[in-house]
Structure 1
Amino acid sequence: MNREQISRLAHAGHPIKAPLDDDSVRRLLEHGVPRGDERVLDLGCGGAEWLLRTLTAHPRVRAEGVDISEEDLRQAREAATRLGVGARLELHHREAADFRSPQPFDLVLSVGATHAFGGLLPTLAAARRHLAPGGRVMIGEGFWEREPSREAVEMLGDFTDLANTVDRVVADGWTPVHGHVSTRRELDDYEWACWGSLASWALDHPEHPDAAQVRETAAARRTEWLRVYRDTWGFVSLVLRPSRPGVR
């Protein structure tokens, strides 16, 4: 079973692929689409859960999503049809970094997907290319709540602390207009959901040829979380506006 399939199983019970609960997602979107008639783009949309929730809550919003997973996009189209928002959602199967659109967007999302662009600042640079005047960017990024172990850095990446993360964003020409730091409950709920979903799938499909692999992956990831990064890693979601309006 490949990484994409493993990820899909892991997120079956937590379709927002980030440590955010439903209330946090709703509040972030309220700040991201304050008018309710915006054009929204999600770079690295996966199953397009952010877009589906936005379209459902705001009947005048139109949205586009970009992802490399054909299966995730197929499921997103099916979900959009079930929810009655398919006519307002356009999905693109390609690398997010390669996507180009003739029209700009009022909100550009990339929550938990900065790895696709090579980090936080390259993701913001990509988002800026798509942003309409007066538009906003919503980005989600990890940070270190306290000094991490070398093993944690090797496992998750070379993040910095929260204050320096925000400083980097500001120095890059952005002004935070809203933010949310994931709570301990959100962080723990996310990890339990992911590795619990994997373990449950393996228990429910004992005869599947990949059951042992999935079970071992669930156990390994749960152990890494509990023993390597649970006490040091955090996650921040920011809604940003360009500090110099009109400069792209």
Structure 2
Amino acid sequence: MNREQISSIAHTNHPIKSPLDDISVRRLLEHGLPRGDERVLDLGCGSAEWLLRALAVRPQLHAEGVDISADALARARQAASDCGGEDRLVLHHQEAEGFVSAEPFDLVISVGATHAFGGLLPTLAAARKHLAPGGRVLIGEGFWDRAPSQEAIDMLGDLTDLATTVDRVVADGWTPIHGHVSTRHELDDYEWACWGALASWALDHPADPDSSHALTTATVRRTEWLRGYRDTLGFVSLVLGRTPDHA
């Protein structure tokens, strides 16, 4: 069982691959889509859950998503067809970093996918290349809510505290328009949902050759969360506009 298959099963009950509940997702989209007829791009869209939700609440919106997973994009196409939004969604099977579009976008989304670009600021640099004048970026990133252990740093990488994270974004030429710090409930619900879904799949498919691996992965990841970073990791989602002097 590869990483993509594990992720797909783990997010069965939490299709937004970040610690955000449905209300938070809706509010972030509302701030990112003030008109309703925007062109939206999701860099690393997976099964395009953000785009599907945007299409559902904005009937004049057009969306594009980029991802390397053919299976995830196939699920996105089917979901768009099921809800009648397939004519407003274009999906690209390729690396997000190399994506080129003939037209800019009013909103660029990258939530929980900054690792694909090498971090927060490289992700913002990638988003900037696709952004129309006056456009917005919706980005989500982890931060240290408390001083982390070395074990947590080894697992999750080079994060900073919330204030420093926002300072880095501002210094890079962005102005926060809206922000949401995930609550303890959102953070816990996300972790329980992911590793619970993976464990449940393993228990429900005892004859599958991947069952043991899935159950072990769920156990290890749950333990890493509970003992490694539950009390230190936070997650912030920001809606950003380009600061005029840096545009």
Alignment TM-score, normalising by the size of structure 1:
0.99
Contact map agreement 2:62 2:88 (CA 8 A) in 1: yes
Q: How does 1:89-100 map to 2 (within 5 A)?
A: 89-100=89-100
- 1:43 paired to 2:43: yes
Q: Which deviations, in whole Å up to 9, do the C-alpha atoms of 1:93-117 show, x marking residues without a partner?
A: 0000000000000000000000000
TM superposition shift of 1:244: 1.1
2:135 counterpart of 1:135: yes
Q: Match for residue 176 of structure 1?
A: 176
Q: Kindly indicate whether residue 231 of structure 2 is the aligned counterpart of residue 231 of structure 1.
A: yes
Per-residue Cα deviation, 1:165-216 (whole angstroms, up to 9, x for no partner): 0000000000000000000000000000000000000011000000000000
Secondary structure (helix, strand or coil) at the match of 2:199 reads helix
2:180 partner amino acid: H
Q: Identify the residue that residue 124 of structure 2 maps to in structure 1.
A: 124
Measured in 1, the distance between the counterparts of 2:53 and 2:43 equals 16
| Cα drift, residue 245 of structure 1 | 6.9
Return the offset for 1:129: 0.3
Q: Is the 8 A contact 1:110 1:139 kept in 2?
A: yes
Q: Give the Cα separation in 2 of the matches to 1:158 and 1:58.
A: 36
Q: What is the percentage of aligned positions where both structures have the same residue? A: 73
Aligned to 2:107: 107
For residue 69 of structure 1, report the CA deviation from its aligned partner: 0.3
CA distance in 2 between partners of 1:117 and 1:221 (Å): 23
Matches within 5 A, 1:138-153: 138-153=138-153
Q: How has the CA–CA distance of structure 1 residues 29 and 101 changed in structure 2, closer, same or farther, with 3 Å as cutoff? A: same
Answer whether contact 1:107 1:137 (CA < 8 A) is retained.
yes
Amino acid at match of 2:96: A
Match of 2:200 in 1: 200
Corresponding position of 1:63: 63
CA contact (8 A) 2:173 2:246 kept: no
Q: Report the Cα distance in structure 1 between the residues aligned to 2:5 and 2:126, rounded to whole angstroms.
A: 27
Taking a change above 3 Å as real, the CA distance of residues 154 and 233 of structure 1, as seen in their structure-2 partners, is: same
Rounded Cα–Cα distance in structure 1 between residues aligned with 2:81 and 2:56: 11
Which amino acid in structure 2 is aligned with residue 217 of structure 1?
Answer: T
| Moved beyond 3 Å, runs of 4+ | none
Query: Structure 1 stretches of 5 or more lacking a match?
Result: none
Query: How many residue pairs align between the two structures?
Result: 247
Deviation at 1:246, TM superposition (A): 8.2
For residues 182 and 130 of structure 1, what CA distance do their matches in structure 2 show? Answer: 27
Deviations 1:109-151 (A, max 9, x none): 0000000000000000000000001100000000000100001
Letter in 1 for 2:242: P
Question: For each residue in 1:43-83, what CA deviation from the matched residue of structure 2 results, as whole angstroms up to 9, or x when unmatched?
Answer: 00000000000001110000000000000000000000001
The aligned counterpart of 2:28 is: 28
Give the aligned partner of residue 217 of structure 2. 217
Secondary structure class of the residue paired with 2:188: helix
Establish whether residue 241 from structure 1 lines up as the match of residue 241 from structure 2.
yes
Alignment correspondent of 1:77: 77
RMSD (Å), alpha carbons? 0.8
Aligned-partner Cα distance in 1 for 2:127–2:33: 16
Letter in 2 for 1:115: H
3-state DSSP of counterpart to 2:213 = helix
Contact 1:133 1:245 in 2 (8 A): no
Structure 1 match to 2:54: 54
Amino acid at match of 1:230: R
Q: Give TM-score scaled by structure 2 length.
A: 0.99
Q: For structure 2, list consecutive stretches of 5 or more residues without a partner in the other structure.
A: none
